[in-house]
Chains A and B, each alone.
Chain A
């Protein structure tokens, strides 16, 4: 019903020319509001919301449709209608747009700054840049919590482990968490600003560093977006090499997280073994692609070619870890004291996962059957056979199982690809470029779908934007920890493993 209404709102419109492959429509404020309402009623998924000079863009997928679209509303003086008041997943994105551009979302419910901690000496750094006095970054109006016997536990931004900075404000009743409120933005580096008016190579290097653990996925998405804009396709060899790199990255991250989650339950044996497996994957990645995290390997037009020894290095690594990994998985299965910590912990309801269009293991552990590789297929996945694991328990254990099954799927895919690597060049020349061209792409990073959007004017990046999966996962972590004990927060947090850098931009 609401999906049909949402579809009707964008039907029969002429898309902006030069935006590929999804259509982009320029719409008025009333349609924008109606789209917000339809999204709020469950008519589709919000895929992204970002600003630029004079415009605010929103990427969405009408429920059940194969191709998403982008809608653009022109900012009126300095405001635009809030989507967040109808559809909560847009709230933080709108707060970010307001902080960066100074556009006020009319009707927004949460008027607190998000990325702007008062430390920039100006407001709206990508908008009119009025000077502003520096505020104490410690001041922030956390939501009031009232009740008997409640106490607060402030954590961060500097955490106890080797992790990224962010602030968590727990309100607890004894051991039980009554509410968690996050405050993020500490690692805001101004990426949207750096991705304005720059050359392709520099933009690529920045995109590769939006979130270091997903560097391959980001370079992949950025390159696909640029190739879409320029109507170019990477050569077959590059497509397969990209797939291998993306799956190596997924395997390495899932291995690291699987071990780290178990370590947070003080089961260090799995952690130790997973640490070794992860190291093997990274070492093989370095031998094959010259960089442990495979940073800057994927570029618009293709990728750096693999070393001659790549197939052997990767094959050997897979053979080395496959059997021991299966053994460690059995160990997880056979250890009830560990499962006592992971089962029924950090529950995310299927409704919430669907409403927030949560990607990756967060969505797929709560019954949201979506994987960019299968649902918006891009090479080499359009020709690959793989299964998308789906669980419905929504707890830490389910998120672990999604990861375990994905590791198995990834290793199988890598094996198939490495055995039959297409010959030929790994890079195509970028065509001589003129005029305004726009491209958008989504790839499946290990933690979920990420989106890259570019506008290229005469061969230069006029504006680009990256949207991390974490935007739609962080808020669900607040929900997941509710009514759990404080000591289970590390488990919940690691089972999500949201990116701070990818979110803070």
Chain B
């Protein structure tokens, strides 16, 4: 282990350079309804740090795999001050995946209620965005916006980690830009 650790000290980092959040991040990352929600609370923003609580509201777990990847050494979201937290009580942002199954709806609403204000909701993946394959079922609501106010949508099936990262950075950039007079 010592050799391994020692060698790691001299290796170049595997982390990818940060993507540009200012410009529309990529063609398939779209910002929705962001301004309205953020203007109201412009002064009380997260500065350079956000805490995210991830909620699977019925996904196939594909989105979870890619969200998980954000924490690996290649994407390393913590360098941007983004961290995933274990409780909604500690969260600024709820990152929600899945078409919202009826069986998860109550838990999702309770998690939202347990998150302190100000809070933002991101719909990650096509299912949460309302265009997934599970939208038309007796068991699903069909889109996250039918249950919670959505501030940002990151489409993809599943969205790639780099697109998730761009989406998250956009949210932060726009929020801090509005916070500065």
> Which B residue sits closest to A136, measured CB to CB?
B106
Complex: A272 Cα to B104 Cα, angstroms: 32
B67 at the A interface (CB under 8 A): yes
Contacting residue for A278 out of B72, B84, B137, CB 8 A: B72
Q: A158-B107, A189-B58, A275-B72 are in contact. Are A164 and B138 (CB under 8 A)?
A: no
Complex: A154 Cα to B72 Cα, angstroms: 29
User: Which of A12-20, A210-218, A477-485 participates in binding chain B?
Assistant: A210-218
A500 / chain B contacts, CB cutoff of 8 Å: 56, 61
Q: A138-B106, A157-B104, A212-B59 are in contact. Are A205 and B133 (CB under 8 A)?
A: yes
Type the 1/0 row for B70-112, where 1 means its CB is closer than 8 Å to any CB of A.
Answer: 0111100000000010111000000000110111111110010
Are A194 and B66 touching (Cβ within 8 A)? no
Are A157 and B107 touching (Cβ within 8 A)? yes
A contacts with B: majority SS = loop
Distance to closest chain A CB from B64 (angstroms): 6
A312 at the B interface (CB under 8 A): no
Complex: A487 Cα to B85 Cα, angstroms: 19
Q: Tally A-B pairs: CB < 8 A.
A: 151
Are B60 and A269 touching (Cβ within 8 A)? no
A161 / chain B contacts, CB cutoff of 8 Å: 86
Which residues A21-46 have CB closer than 8 A to chain B? none
Given contacts A163-B56, A206-B133, 19 further A-B contacts (CB under 8 A): A119-B103, A120-B102, A137-B106, A137-B107, A158-B88, A162-B68, A189-B58, A189-B134, A205-B133, A209-B62, A212-B158, A213-B65, A215-B62, A269-B4, A278-B69, A292-B66, A500-B56, A500-B61, A504-B103
B5 / chain A contacts, CB cutoff of 8 Å: 269
Q: A122-B138, A206-B133, A269-B4 are in contact. Are A164 and B101 (CB under 8 A)?
A: no
> Which B residue sits closest to A165, measured CB to CB?
B56
Q: A213-B65, A275-B72 are in contact. Are A189 and B99 (CB under 8 A)?
A: yes
> Which A residue sits closest to B62, measured CB to CB?
A212
Distance to closest chain A CB from B31 (angstroms): 23
Complex: A103 Cα to B35 Cα, angstroms: 51
B51 at the A interface (CB under 8 A): no
Q: Which B positions have Cβ atoms within 8 angstroms of A?
A: 1, 4-5, 14, 54-69, 71-74, 84, 86-88, 98-99, 101-108, 111, 132-134, 136-140, 157-158, 160
> Which A residue sits closest to B126, measured CB to CB?
A209
A202 at the B interface (CB under 8 A): yes
Are A212 and B65 touching (Cβ within 8 A)? yes
Contacting residue for B111 out of A158, A206, A275, CB 8 A: A158
Complex: A176 Cα to B165 Cα, angstroms: 40
Q: A158-B111, A501-B60 are in contact. Are A186 and B65 (CB under 8 A)?
A: no
Q: A160-B87, A272-B73, A334-B1 are in contact. Are A501 and B59 (CB under 8 A)?
A: yes
Are A186 and B64 touching (Cβ within 8 A)? no
Q: A162-B68, A212-B158 are in contact. Are A187 and B59 (CB under 8 A)?
A: yes
